[in-house]
Structure 1
Amino acid sequence: MYLISFYVPPDHLETVKNALFKKGAGKIGHYDACAWHTMGQGQFRPLAGSQPFKGEENIIEQCEEARVEMVCEDHILKTVLQELVRVHPYETPAYHAIQGVTLENL
């Protein structure tokens, strides 16, 4: 099992979460569509050659973002991450996947 975490603008939050749920992420036992999110302030600076969703080249942009966390089974991780990159509005979305420990693999 992995924990997937990513940042997304609030107006794309439900679209991205639902796309990942359709690929099987967010399933824990007899529950699905499980996720946690919190709002925060992100920042970035688009560099030369970028095509930013928001902002201008070489200017630091600050914006509200949601940090989303959900679980993902090992066998669908690649498919789920590919879907995240496909549906996410950012040119290069920030995400990570951390392998977790479950009682079954202790």
Structure 2
Amino acid sequence: MNLALWIATGLLAVVALAGGTSKTFMSKERLAKYPGGGWVKGFPASFLKSIGVLEILAAVGLILPALLNIAPFMVPVTAICWVLVMIGAIIIHLRHGHAKPVVANLIYLALAVFIAWGRFE
């Protein structure tokens, strides 16, 4: 079980880091060119960068507390926060008529629920 939790946590951390890095360092126009990226047009660049920073912090919060054994309770807390972010992402994608990204968001949401459930025990 611990191995499965670490694999899920690592996968989710990579997703969070990749998404956060792109939102933080790419221009709004470049993000809009990606498939399903049309949603960014409705938000200011500062909002996108804020979401990006939160995603980078989520990647850190998923890995470091458990790895260093410093406040490991933060891992499931971070996973629950990620669930909330994914619910928001699903709503935004559905409002903009982008169904394909919702599938990925549901997978990430399921991984976060699994991590929160497994690490709270």
User: Under a length normalisation based on structure 1, what TM-score does the superposition of the two structures give?
Assistant: 0.31
User: Under a length normalisation based on structure 2, what TM-score does the superposition of the two structures give?
Assistant: 0.29
Comparing both structures, which one devotes a greater share of its residues to strand?
Answer: 1
Query: Which structure's relative contact order is higher, taking Cα pairs within 8 Å and 6+ residues apart?
Result: 1
